[in-house]
Amino acid sequence: MSILGFAGGAGGAQDIIAFVQSVAGKVPNKMNSDTMVHYVEHAKEVLGRVESDRGSQPQFARELTDGAYRLVDRLWKNFKSNHELKGNSFLRQELEDLSAAAICQRLGGQISKETYGSFEEFRSFIKVNLFHHQAFALGTVFMEKDGEPCVPIAVEVPGSAIPRTRDVKWSELDCEVCADGGLKVLHDGALVFETDRDGMLTDDYSLSQWGIRAYGSDKREVMRPQFRQPDLAGRCYIEPTVYLGRGSGPSQLQRTHAAFRLVDETGATYLVGKYGMWGGEGIRSPDPVLLSPKDRYEVLETRLELTSEEFAAVLDKVNKDRCDPNIDSNAMTANCTSYLVELLDTCCPGKLGEGNLRQKCQAASLECLALFFFNSKTIRSFAKVWDQLTFHNKYVSWGLFIATVLPYAIHLIFTLTVYAATAILSIVDKKCALPDLHIWDIIFRPWKVTYDSPYQLASVICEHNDEEYVS
């Protein structure tokens, strides 16, 4: 039986989407050629359904596209890591065709896989900028004209924050090489965007729903929306979002991020987040993590309605902070979570539950240490051993040492190291600010030393949504 027939037997569109996502998540790590062919046929069927339903059921096709791309991506990774399959030219060609078809659907479904495959430089431009992910998140559509792919360019409209789109054929773009090896890309003699030597857009340009726009995360000007959500028009919202990294690798802390979407009364949506735990970038819009594939993260989010006054206060604060070249940053008390919590407390207090939001989002500095050096599986294993050592009678003396002296020593070494590193960096980079800690707290009151944790914010969001959060 076909994959969609099996899924559809249990229900409607949502059952099909959930089933395809489940299949994509359970692709075996090792498989023979027959099993790979079986999965390839499944992927072909799903992509065929996406193409046929894009016009009549756009939302269904969009969600199914995400599952199809994830399935094809897993198959490619499996193929490349399997020495028995690498030499199979038939499977390689099948997967290349599927990958091209999946990317074209993520680009809006208007470019055929044959056209996409015929323009090598265009393919490289899409992949190096991750436009197949960004376009899918933003709803940007890359068109095809006369058998040639087009690049959408956002053309500003005087007096409006919403531009119009001009689709420019790939062959109509001219390039000028810069001294650093980058490119200035022109159309009819006018500059439309710039790239570095690898073809990636410079910081002065970013993709929006309406195409590539002369507006980057570092431009010191009034913030502009990245896309529009017409179904939310009529009211203002802020959507706090926490991205928790998936995977078993170390340094889970570096895979977490807290950011937010801001929606005005027309549905125009801004993507905002803070970067630079050790100084650095400051406030970015668009925030690139909010344009990342969601299957790489565990995403926890909520939507809070704002009054027009609260929306104006949030927008005004973000615009001012984007223009502040010396906005404070540090890993403990001025990170991405700190900024979002401060924004909510300052501009719309009480929206994310009662009580002190900053206090709710703080965690012991030892959690920061554990997440920075170990993966979640190791942390859970250590917690299990910790419980055994602490509560079993025959280990009581050793457990007492584990539960008191060792954590204090680790805390002291780690906190002093972070504090010293931050102090050194604050001399070099004025954006890197010292945490507001007293040496008395570091040495004698370690429970006072906390950091603003995205995991704690995630639990607050789940509590607000009446969901259960498992850290």
pLDDT tens for 339-358 read 999 999 999 888 888 888 88
The pLDDT, as a whole number, for residue 286 is: 85
The pLDDT, as a whole number, for residue 276 is: 72
Residue 320 lies in a domain: yes
Q: How confident is the model at residue 150 (pLDDT cuts 50, 70, 90)?
A: very high
* Two structure tokens written together for 187: 């159309």
Strand, coil or helix: what is 168? strand
Tell whether 324 and 466 lie within a shared domain: yes
The pLDDT, as a whole number, for residue 395 is: 43
* Two structure tokens written together for 448: 């006072």
The pLDDT, as a whole number, for residue 388 is: 53
* CA distances in angstroms from 182 to 116, 202, 214, 455, listed in the order given: 24, 9, 16, 40
- pLDDT beyond 60 at 7: no
Tens-place pLDDT, residues 79-95: 888 877 877 888 889 98
Q: How confident is the model at residue 21 (pLDDT cuts 50, 70, 90)?
A: low
Query: Distance between CA 218 and CA 66 in Å, rounded?
Result: 30
In this prediction the pTM is 0.76
Least confident of 67-76, 110-119, 120-129, 229-238: 67-76
- pLDDT beyond 70 at 3: no
Query: Distance between CA 148 and CA 458 in Å, rounded?
Result: 45
Q: Tokens 């890591």 map to which residue?
A: 81
Give the domain-ending residue among 50, 80, 106: 106
Tell whether 257 and 394 lie within a shared domain: yes
Residue 212 lies in a domain: no
Residue 168 lies in a domain: no
Sign of CA dihedral 130, 136, 141, 145: positive
Residue 401 lies in a domain: yes
**Average pLDDT for residues 224-229, to the nearest whole number?**
88
Nearest CA to 273 among 265, 264, 282? 282
Q: Tokens 């016009």 map to which residue?
A: 55
Q: With contact defined as beta carbons under 8 Å apart, do 212 and 152 qualify?
A: yes
Half-sphere exposure at residue 322, Cβ-oriented, CA atoms within 13 angstroms: 22
* CA distances in angstroms from 285 to 77, 184, 318, 379, 417, listed in the order given: 32, 23, 10, 33, 32
The pLDDT, as a whole number, for residue 216 is: 63
Tens-place pLDDT, residues 306-324: 999 999 999 999 988 888 7
Using a pLDDT cut of 90, give the percent of the chain over it: 30
Specify the DSSP class assigned to residue 351: T
Nearest CA to 201 among 186, 216, 211? 216
Question: Where do the H-state alpha helices sit in 247-348?
Answer: 308-322, 336-347
Give the domain-ending residue among 56, 88, 106: 106
Sequence-distant (6+) residues with CB within 8 A of 86 are 79, 80, 92
Tens-place pLDDT, residues 42-83: 888 888 888 887 777 777 777 788 888 888 888 888 888 887
Least confident of 61-70, 101-110, 162-171, 258-267: 61-70
Tell whether 233 and 85 lie within a shared domain: no
Residue 395 lies in a domain: yes
Q: How confident is the model at residue 173 (pLDDT cuts 50, 70, 90)?
A: very high
Residue 343 lies in a domain: yes
Q: What is the mean pLDDT of the chain?
A: 79
- Side chain identity, residue 451: Y
Query: Distance between CA 38 and CA 79 in Å, rounded?
Result: 13
Q: With contact defined as beta carbons under 8 Å apart, do 149 and 108 qualify?
A: no
Total number of domains constituting the chain:
2
The pLDDT, as a whole number, for residue 433 is: 60
Residue 121 lies in a domain: no
Beta bridge partners of 357: none
Tens-place pLDDT, residues 449-462: 777 888 889 889 98
User: Is omega for the bond preceding 446 within 30 degrees of 0, making it cis?
Assistant: no
- pLDDT beyond 80 at 12: no
**Average pLDDT for residues 217-237, to the nearest whole number?**
80
Tens-place pLDDT, residues 265-296: 999 999 999 987 655 678 888 888 888 877 66
Least confident of 6-10, 87-91, 369-373, 414-418: 6-10
Give the domain-ending residue among 106, 130, 150: 106
- pLDDT beyond 50 at 176: yes
Q: Tokens 């850290």 map to which residue?
A: 471
Number of residues assigned to the chain = 471
Residue 214 lies in a domain: no
Query: Distance between CA 36 and CA 72 in Å, rounded?
Result: 11
- Residue 277 belongs to domain spanning: 221-471
Specify the DSSP class assigned to residue 279: B
